[in-house]
Structure 1
């Protein structure tokens, strides 16, 4: 590509933002990002109605990837930039606060919190995934950041370095006599909506143009009838011709690229929140990032566990977010003559989650955080994103459409790579994908496996949202706490 090539990006979430930012840094001067939501004015804040997996209150920063050491390494590279972004923002907040995006002028001017990440098992032994993760941490020379709950040397080191209070925050050893967990002191979380606002701010400063509007920015089709001049068509009837189109639409990607059906699938995770009362200073202190880590319960334990729960410390508004990952829901509709899963938000935003998801969240609270049960659930929602057949990203040119690329398949773990993902995407767009480990990992692919991350189920499968009973507000209450 020439530096004056017109590059059109669909989607201003993590994948689109990172791609745009790194294209601009690589010298491409005509990069335009389309989105149907005004993410700039709203600052990506989900509290004002932005509907996107990227527009969230927080996301996990982790380095534990089992035997997938390439993702562990990429996450470590991203963490170095997260650190730099924190430093840049802190400096601006002190010297030129008005130059920060508006959402970063409010509250604490900080994106990422290294509060630790407690990988808490639900079984009596460590999973193979956890054992392999620790081997890879050792291989990379960062085993010292990991504290194993049953290792005397690790416990002593945690005490000496100030991490002991986060090794068993749910008091499982005391209450149940068993606690199998690993605390990663290098991990934590980012304030997701502020991070996206900051990345968009950097992209604009680098020369990227954004069209963020419900009609002017909403892409409804990608026309490649002239393969040398791909066209993006927006809902207002306007066509935009480019040299290259990159579809990075998150949960909306599969609907714009029906040929990706079978490789990626739009799914929804289930999220619930608990609002801490402002007069409960004891809870505010207990669940602060200083005292409470990000926690997962029973994730990556295969058949041993049906938990797959994660939770965060409270945010600056006293909100604790808890998510259920075991089952990811689908929502099928007609798209270009095919039945494809698309976000429910296209038609009507769904704020209720299926009963099994709510019950799993309530079990996690009842078993591990019983002091929160009396508060009840404050809100629930579905978080729509895109899974791939193997949970690895999909970044490649679309077969048969040489000037159209897909940048998707975040599979629920893409956000942490926001600062660095676009670096690898640009290499792929420049035709160097076969030369890089990530280009080979993320290429367009098929699978002949019987199980393909649930994509083999289709509309007949058990995860279809329309087949579920959704939880009502009455279900949010913990019955044993009703007076």
Structure 2
């Protein structure tokens, strides 16, 4: 669902469920072949689910979203680009990512996918991750090459590109003890907004013959039956409240999820929260674009830097794999746009520039220096210049970074499809299949356990560095802060 600075009031405590049972999967009670389905949120989880259900012959699918236009301009999935990698500790994600990559390569996505290859570097603290990811990529049949020496890493880049300290991160004599690096040809990046528009266009072909899309609707709570179980949702449109009901309600509200449903007995808010993650871009000249267009996508555990080749318009984007920021506001996903038309960078009407032409998003000032420093270690020639654009993407972070795709134990008609944790978009072509399989109780047991609402959870953001921090308006950047010093 689109993200924005919503009302300061919280949702009333309307839930009175029984305690969660941790050992059983919830099964949908309906026997009907194609139940009516109401999907909250038109981001990558919600839209992909709707399209998959329509492909399966469902005749009554409704999507609602708080945005007035789709794809929502401020959604995390409406972005310049996203990394497409299969480098995971958990082989289930690796296999699913490779399935998704095969779909990205088809003609259904308006050439959104770019196969630059992915360079995975493990640092002193990231070697275990890189080794496990390498083994899983090999097992999945990926085209991978181990890079035991600095000279091997350098070969992944055009010879004319000046590299910084990353090329010296490994001592030639220490072998793989400090840094395990490998290159996977089966991966790269995707133009995220292009991909979302392609999926939306295909979904809209079902409007009037199975699909209804309702925009500008703000969810205010669940519609409950006499037993206190969810049978629909309460929505407000232009100040008018109504209850929309369906046989199955799919909650795909992304980073809004924990603030929309904060009640402790409901159980979602203690499993996930919204965290904001900064990305920056620099504008390359046409000559620089020709120089950098063939660099690999990079995922570096030594610096926690991730970056991709420049877009055709010459924007080169990067970020840090950080635990993220949390909002000081009662609603956990503020829009943080910044433009001449916005008196406040936390104005709920702010628009976020994602293509370099619009307004930049106000980001935490504290992130600028570490992000410049990280880029300087990779591409020193372009690190110290004005930022062309900046953005916060709000993730729906679970405790263990695994998704939640499961029926709520106390609401058997409510399917949760959320908790993307910053790594869901690459799976856009196959997410709908996974969620629809769970809706129909067809999902394989490994995936059901991985995405279970009641699964045992251990660890917290083990693949990210740093500590979460709270941001407030006076700690956000202005346009002056984005200029090179």
Give the structure 1 partner of residue 158 of structure 2: 165
Seen in structure 2, the aligned counterparts of structure 1 residues 24 and 381 have a Cα distance that, compared at 3 Å, is same
Give the structure 1 partner of residue 332 of structure 2: 341
Give the structure 2 partner of residue 146 of structure 1: 145
Shift of 1:166: 8.2
Do 2:161 and 2:292's aligned partners in 1 also have CA atoms closer than 8 Å? Answer: no
Shift of 1:221: 2.1
Distance (Å, rounded) in 2 between the aligned partners of 1:53 and 1:149: 36
Instruction: Confirm or deny that 1:31 pairs with 2:30.
Output: no
1:315 to 293, 311, 315: 311
Distance (Å, rounded) in 1 between the aligned partners of 2:61 and 2:287: 49
Do 1:267 and 1:330's aligned partners in 2 also have CA atoms closer than 8 Å? Answer: yes
In structure 1, runs of 5+ residues without a counterpart are 90-108, 299-304, 335-339, 455-460
Give the structure 1 partner of residue 447 of structure 2: 438
Instruction: Confirm or deny that 1:424 pairs with 2:447.
Output: no
1:209 to 208, 211, 217: 211
Provide Cα deviations, 1:271-326, integer angstroms capped at 9, x if missing partner.
Answer: 111122xxx332111222xx12212233xxxxxx5x32211211122211111221
Provide Cα deviations, 1:144-186, integer angstroms capped at 9, x if missing partner.
Answer: 433425299x78xx97xxx663898736576677585322211
Give the structure 2 partner of residue 220 of structure 1: 220
Provide Cα deviations, 1:75-99, integer angstroms capped at 9, x if missing partner.
Answer: 0111111111xx346xxxxxxxxxx
Give the structure 2 partner of residue 465 of structure 1: 471
Seen in structure 2, the aligned counterparts of structure 1 residues 131 and 168 have a Cα distance that, compared at 3 Å, is farther
Provide Cα deviations, 1:180-238, integer angstroms capped at 9, x if missing partner.
Answer: 53222111011101111111222223455243432xx3322221234677122222213
Seen in structure 2, the aligned counterparts of structure 1 residues 422 and 175 have a Cα distance that, compared at 3 Å, is closer
Shift of 1:50: 0.4
Distance (Å, rounded) in 2 between the aligned partners of 1:35 and 1:73: 31
Give the structure 2 partner of residue 457 of structure 1: none
Q: Secondary structure at the match of 1:375?
A: coil
CA RMSD of superposed structures (Å) = 3.1
Do 2:449 and 2:455's aligned partners in 1 also have CA atoms closer than 8 Å? Answer: no
Seen in structure 2, the aligned counterparts of structure 1 residues 317 and 439 have a Cα distance that, compared at 3 Å, is same
Give the structure 2 partner of residue 5 of structure 1: 35
Do 2:235 and 2:243's aligned partners in 1 also have CA atoms closer than 8 Å? Answer: yes
In structure 2, runs of 5+ residues without a counterpart are 1-29, 173-178, 337-345, 353-360
- For residues 80-159 of structure 1, the aligned pairs below 5 Å read 80-84=102-106, 87-88=107-108, 109-121=110-122, 123=124, 127-142=127-142, 144-150=143-149
Q: Secondary structure at the match of 2:64?
A: strand
Do 2:164 and 2:377's aligned partners in 1 also have CA atoms closer than 8 Å? Answer: no
Q: How many residues align?
A: 415
Do 1:228 and 1:243's aligned partners in 2 also have CA atoms closer than 8 Å? Answer: no
Greater fraction of residues in helix: 1
1:267 to 272, 275, 294: 275
Distance (Å, rounded) in 2 between the aligned partners of 1:51 and 1:114: 26
Q: Secondary structure at the match of 1:317?
A: coil
Distance (Å, rounded) in 1 between the aligned partners of 2:373 and 2:231: 50
Seen in structure 2, the aligned counterparts of structure 1 residues 194 and 478 have a Cα distance that, compared at 3 Å, is same
Seen in structure 2, the aligned counterparts of structure 1 residues 378 and 175 have a Cα distance that, compared at 3 Å, is same
Distance (Å, rounded) in 1 between the aligned partners of 2:395 and 2:166: 36
Do 1:37 and 1:212's aligned partners in 2 also have CA atoms closer than 8 Å? Answer: no
Give the structure 1 partner of residue 407 of structure 2: 397
- For residues 371-382 of structure 1, the aligned pairs below 5 Å read 371-382=381-392
Give the structure 1 partner of residue 244 of structure 2: 240
Seen in structure 2, the aligned counterparts of structure 1 residues 467 and 420 have a Cα distance that, compared at 3 Å, is same
Seen in structure 2, the aligned counterparts of structure 1 residues 174 and 326 have a Cα distance that, compared at 3 Å, is closer
Instruction: Confirm or deny that 1:196 pairs with 2:192.
Output: no
Do 2:275 and 2:325's aligned partners in 1 also have CA atoms closer than 8 Å? Answer: yes
Seen in structure 2, the aligned counterparts of structure 1 residues 249 and 177 have a Cα distance that, compared at 3 Å, is closer
Do 1:3 and 1:29's aligned partners in 2 also have CA atoms closer than 8 Å? Answer: no
Distance (Å, rounded) in 1 between the aligned partners of 2:428 and 2:162: 29
Q: Secondary structure at the match of 1:119?
A: strand
Provide Cα deviations, 1:319-344, integer angstroms capped at 9, x if missing partner.
Answer: 1111122131112544xxxxx73445
Q: Secondary structure at the match of 1:390?
A: coil
TM-score by length of 1: 0.77
Distance (Å, rounded) in 1 between the aligned partners of 2:424 and 2:159: 26
Seen in structure 2, the aligned counterparts of structure 1 residues 230 and 88 have a Cα distance that, compared at 3 Å, is closer
Q: Secondary structure at the match of 1:55?
A: coil
Shift of 1:60: 0.7
Do 1:167 and 1:183's aligned partners in 2 also have CA atoms closer than 8 Å? Answer: no
Give the structure 1 partner of residue 296 of structure 2: 293
Do 1:53 and 1:385's aligned partners in 2 also have CA atoms closer than 8 Å? Answer: yes
Shift of 1:388: 0.7
TM-score by length of 2: 0.77
Seen in structure 2, the aligned counterparts of structure 1 residues 424 and 281 have a Cα distance that, compared at 3 Å, is closer
Distance (Å, rounded) in 2 between the aligned partners of 1:284 and 1:36: 37
